[in-house]
Amino acid sequence: MQSTLLTIYPFLKIGHVIFMVFWLAGLFMLPRQCIYMLDHAPGSEGEAKWATRMDKLRKIILTPSLIIVWVLGLTMAIAMGFFSQGWLHAKLTLVVVLTGYHGWLVGQTKKMARGERPLTEARLRLIGEVPGLLLVLIVALVYLKPF
């Protein structure tokens, strides 16, 4: 099995990167969609349209991409024996934080779809930067492998 994983490693890596891009794109889009929803009164037709759009983004892009990124990433780490390397521990810690952010943001969008407004536009703009900052750190760890 180990030799099979090593043989398909480049394809695992390609899939991992592609679905990481999809996941991050969705995480960049979701706070922006929340901002657009703020322009509509709770219970309005406009709010319902944005709630539907956010639901589709979560169900079609975000959550499937998150799962695929984790499965492919862990499979690559097993295939290459990276679990003993410190950079991977740091990367996994940041990916766990990003996954937690994903879950928290999904919870906020579900509250908004129910007519609640837990976040202001300013706060949404600020938290929309979180995935970008984590992405910079994760990519630096993967390419530099500093420890």
**How many angstroms separate the CA atoms of 62 and 65, rounded?**
5
* pLDDT score of 90: 97
Mean pLDDT computed over every residue of the chain:
96
- Over residues 133-147, the mean pLDDT reads 96
Question: pLDDT (tens digit, 9 = 90+) per residue, 18-41?
Answer: 999 999 999 999 999 999 999 999
Contacts of the segment 130-133: beta carbons below 8 A, 24+ positions apart: 130/27, 130/98, 130/101, 131/24, 131/27, 131/28, 131/98, 131/101, 132/28
Cβ(118)–Cβ(111) under 8 Å? yes
Length of the chain equals 147
Cβ(28)–Cβ(105) under 8 Å? no
**How many angstroms separate the CA atoms of 100 and 105, rounded?**
8
User: Exposed, middle or buried by CB within 10 Å (0-12, 13-18, 19+), for 33?
Assistant: middle
2 falls in which pLDDT band (50, 70, 90)?
confident
Q: Give yes or no for residue 3 having a pLDDT over 90.
A: no
Q: pTM for the complete prediction?
A: 0.94
Cβ(77)–Cβ(83) under 8 Å? yes
